[in-house]
């Protein structure tokens, strides 16, 4: 006999519409679930495809969804443009839980901003909150981390979790496009919003990483508490240096790892070697890597990951499939203990490492006015800060490549006066590097703020 479930939906945009379509088209029927949508909240019901035939399903009052007497599960798939939106959405989710509804959400920003209140309410009301769609879009990652890999003691979780940034960097690497051209292409294809800051600035990836860190390490972190750098200042020539001198490429990586009992967490573009699988994840595809050691204390295997999950990271269809996967799990596990994060996690992490204490080898790209003695002055500053130089990279650049750097910095230098080059550094701290670069940036020959990126290490 089929299990019958009634669903209320908060949101009727790209994802909400896809969820509604999948339910109407019987997506869950093959699992023995007879699902029916009983109410949909949207601010503009008249413009929705199903409004013409079923206007009674739609409401402009979210509480008609969260308090609907027939709804068993409330699906929350609303976008948020700021703190006020998130606060209102939190109130609606809390109301659904207090009305005896379980909640499935795709809203990572909501959980990062108001997760504590939502988890507390769910626990008090003995209701479940599921959020598979929040991190990897169509990639199943929350379930595997909390169930399939529960026997592993986590060592690291990392990956490419923002399809927009990965698409832009792929275009720059493979086609030599400028950042601006690659971003425009992403916007034209619908991969980037008109205001792309959350994606290219790393805030979207940061929210996803905070959820991953809570699941994997039991760490409760606030936005802004970890090192975050966007991709806006990456230039096409950086890919030339990474490929020709560093035998690698540049990817925007979200990383959380156990470093001797301290959690290191960051979202940043990194120079990654060509022989790492992450270097071959292109376009809007996402990938999440997990490294662990078995719970009996055994040593980790060689390498820097044990499992990798790859798939579509965004899009209405992929996200909707993940949402309905959570709906199916709730129906199948009816009566079980509600699923909540940061419960009964043994990770070996007791603190969070401050941003300035993060350590790595670094790639530092300079754009300077071409004159003698520059490299010596720069290396002297690094030496004064107890930072060891590893290599100095310099390529022959075309006139077009040099012209692309004109105007990027100060001084109005012509292309024949510009000298780009890269210095790679042995392992040092972010704090030491920043102090050194602050001094170097004051030199009159420096035409642009130096770009620094961590170099991947296992």
What is the per-residue pLDDT across 260-319, written as a single tens digit (0 to 9) for each?
Answer: 889 999 999 999 999 999 999 999 999 999 998 754 444 444 567 889 999 887 677 888
Q: Is the dihedral of CA 14, 160, 295, 259 positive or negative?
A: negative
What are the tens digits of pLDDT across the range 66-81? Answer: 999 999 999 999 977 7
Residue 337: per-residue pLDDT: 47
Asked whether residue 349 is domain-assigned, the answer is no
Is the per-residue pLDDT at 345 higher than 60? no
Asked whether residue 341 is domain-assigned, the answer is no
What are the tens digits of pLDDT across the range 200-211? Answer: 999 999 999 999
Give the mean model confidence (pLDDT) for residues 354-383: 96
My answer on whether 62 and 114 are in the same domain is yes
Asked whether residue 350 is domain-assigned, the answer is no
Is the per-residue pLDDT at 441 higher than 70? yes
What are the tens digits of pLDDT across the range 223-254? Answer: 888 999 999 999 999 999 999 999 999 999 99
Average pLDDT, the chain: 90
Q: Is 208 a catalytic residue?
A: yes
The structural domain count of the chain equals 3
Give the mean model confidence (pLDDT) for residues 130-153: 85
Asked whether residue 209 is domain-assigned, the answer is yes
Most confidently predicted of 1-5, 44-48, 146-150, 415-419: 44-48
Is the per-residue pLDDT at 51 higher than 60? yes
Final residue before a domain boundary, out of 297, 332, 367: 332
My answer on whether 231 and 107 are in the same domain is no
Residue 335: per-residue pLDDT: 52
What are the tens digits of pLDDT across the range 110-124? Answer: 999 999 899 999 999
Which run of H or E residues covers position 288?
Answer: strand 285-294
Contact between residue 442 and residue 450 where contact means Cβ atoms under 8 Å apart: no
Q: How many residues does the chain have?
A: 458
Q: How does DSSP assign 392-444, residue by residue?
A: EE-----HHHHHTTTTSSSTT--GGGEEEEEEEEEEEEHHHHHHHHHHHHTST
In this structure, how many other beta carbons lie within 10 angstroms of the beta carbon of residue 352? 18
Tokens of 307: 């499992």
My answer on whether 33 and 94 are in the same domain is yes
> Going by C-beta distance under 8 Å and a sequence separation of 6 or more, which residues neighbour residue 25?
none
Q: What percent of the chain has pLDDT over 90?
A: 71
- By C-alpha distance, which of 17, 48, 73 is closest to 320? 17
My answer on whether 148 and 234 are in the same domain is yes
Q: Nearest-5° angle of CA 49, CA 54, CA 57? A: 100
Q: Which domain holds residue 186?
A: 142-314
My answer on whether 380 and 298 are in the same domain is no
Q: Which of 48, 208, 291, 385 is catalytic?
A: 208
Asked whether residue 268 is domain-assigned, the answer is yes
My answer on whether 160 and 304 are in the same domain is yes
Q: From CA 425, how far away is CA 403, in angstroms rounded?
A: 27
Q: From CA 57, how far away is CA 61, in angstroms rounded?
A: 12
Asked whether residue 225 is domain-assigned, the answer is yes
My answer on whether 225 and 249 are in the same domain is yes
> Going by C-beta distance under 8 Å and a sequence separation of 6 or more, which residues neighbour residue 104?
73, 74, 75, 76, 129, 130, 131, 133, 323, 326, 327, 330
Q: From CA 80, how far away is CA 88, in angstroms rounded?
A: 10
Asked whether residue 351 is domain-assigned, the answer is no
Residue 68: per-residue pLDDT: 98
My answer on whether 118 and 203 are in the same domain is no
My answer on whether 321 and 385 are in the same domain is no
Phi, psi angles (nearest 5°) of residue 226: -120, 165
Q: Strand, coil or helix: what is 342?
A: coil
My answer on whether 129 and 243 are in the same domain is no
Q: What torsion, rounded to 10 degrees, do the Cα atoms 210, 212, 217, 223 define?
A: 0
My answer on whether 193 and 283 are in the same domain is yes
Tokens 């109301």 sit on residue: 95
Asked whether residue 64 is domain-assigned, the answer is yes
Contact between residue 215 and residue 145 where contact means Cβ atoms under 8 Å apart: yes
Which run of H or E residues covers position 76?
Answer: strand 73-76
Which run of H or E residues covers position 262?
Answer: strand 262-273
């Amino acid at each position: 006999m089929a299990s019958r479930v009634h669903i209320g939906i908060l949101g009727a945009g790209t994802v909400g519409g896809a969820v509604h379509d999948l339910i109407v088209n019987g997506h869950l029927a093959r699992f023995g679930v007879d699902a029916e949508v009983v109410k949909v909240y949207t601010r503009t019901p008249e413009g929705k495809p199903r409004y013409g035939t079923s206007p009674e399903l739609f409401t402009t009052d979210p509480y008609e969804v969260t308090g609907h007497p027939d709804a068993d599960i409330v699906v929350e798939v609303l976008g948020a443009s700021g703190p006020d939106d998130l606060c209102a959405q939190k109130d609606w989710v809390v109301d659904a839980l207090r009305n005896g509804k379980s909640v499935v959400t795709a809203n990572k920003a909501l959980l990062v901003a108001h997760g504590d209140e939502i988890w507390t309410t769910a626990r008090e009301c003995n209701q479940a909150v599921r959020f598979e769609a929040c991190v990897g879009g169509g990639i199943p990652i929350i379930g595997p981390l909390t169930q399939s890999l529960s026997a592993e003691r986590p060592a690291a979780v990392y990956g490419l979790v923002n399809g927009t940034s990965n698409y832009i960097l792929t275009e720059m690497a493979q086609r030599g496009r400028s950042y601006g051209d690659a971003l425009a292409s992403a916007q034209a294809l619908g991969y980037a919003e008109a205001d792309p800051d959350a994606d290219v600035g790393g805030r979207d990836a940061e929210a996803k990483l905070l959820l991953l860190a809570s699941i994997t390490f039991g760490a409760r972190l606030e936005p802004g508490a970890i090192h975050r750098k966007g991709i806006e200042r990456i230039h096409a020539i950086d890919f030339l240096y990474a490929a020709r001198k560093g035998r690698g490429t540049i990817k925007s990586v979200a990383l959380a790892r156990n470093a001797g009992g301290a959690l290191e967490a960051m979202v940043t573009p990194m120079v990654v070697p060509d022989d790492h699988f992450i270097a071959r994840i292109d376009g809007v595809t996402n990938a999440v890597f997990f490294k662990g050691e078995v719970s009996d204390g055994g040593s980790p295997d060689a390498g820097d990951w044990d499992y990798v999950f790859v798939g579509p990271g965004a899009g209405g269809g992929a996200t909707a499939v993940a949402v309905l996967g959570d709906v199916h799990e709730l129906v199948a596990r009816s009566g079980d203990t509600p699923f909540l994060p940061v419960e009964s996690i043994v990770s070996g992490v007791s603190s969070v490492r401050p941003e300035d204490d993060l350590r790595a080898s670094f790639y530092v790209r300079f754009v300077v006015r071409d004159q003698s003695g520059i490299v010596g002055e720069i290396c002297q500053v690094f030496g004064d800060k107890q930072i060891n130089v590893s290599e100095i990279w310099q390529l022959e650049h075309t006139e077009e490549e040099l012209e692309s750097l004109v105007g990027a910095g100060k001084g109005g230098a012509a292309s024949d006066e510009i000298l780009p080059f890269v210095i790679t550094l042995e392992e040092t701290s972010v704090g030491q590097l920043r102090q050194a670069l602050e001094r170097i940036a004051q030199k009159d020959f420096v035409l642009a703020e130096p770009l620094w990126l961590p170099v991947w290490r296992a």
